[in-house]
Amino acid sequence: MGRPRALRRRYTAAVVAAVIISIRTCGIALALLVVGACAHKQTIQLDCVPKDVTIYLDKVPLDRVPDSIALRTDQPHVLFFKGEGYEPTMVVLELEETADGPALSPRDLCFELNLAKRKRELEIKIEE
């Protein structure tokens, strides 16, 4: 590939080659970024989750409990719910092919989620 005239006059062949490789690398990185940004997302409602529960999304804790979360549909996701006094619950969002493209299932997390508060009761019977 021929070098541009402006580069040939000012720089050595090694510098010109490095610049051309850098430009190609940046172009490839930009193309991958655009393709990755085009991945479909699906919004999962979390408004049924108590605010005092910690949510882990793919093993990473969320800062707070949001009302909804947008997840990419190019991979499955794992949600883990843990809170003082609640039964720990894990929900795996699997991929399924639909007419509209890939989607995460279950779609209605509030229907699948059972974060019942644990009751701590102590029953004492006194025999006379």
Q: Are residue 63 and residue 24 in the same domain, yes or no? A: no
- Residue 119 belongs to some domain of the structure: no
* pTM flag (> 0.75): no
pLDDT digits (tens, 9 = 90+) for 14-54: 766 766 777 777 666 565 555 555 568 899 888 888 888 99
Question: Among candidates 127, 121, 106, 98, which has minimal Cα distance to 45?
Answer: 106
Question: Among candidates 55, 35, 37, which has minimal Cα distance to 46?
Answer: 55
pLDDT digits (tens, 9 = 90+) for 57-94: 999 999 998 989 999 999 999 999 998 888 888 999 99
Question: Among candidates 78, 82, 104, which has minimal Cα distance to 91?
Answer: 78
Domain count within the chain: 2
Q: Are residue 90 and residue 103 in the same domain, yes or no? A: yes
- Range of the structural domain that residue 107 is part of: 40-112
- Residue 91 belongs to some domain of the structure: yes
Q: Are residue 95 and residue 54 in the same domain, yes or no? A: yes
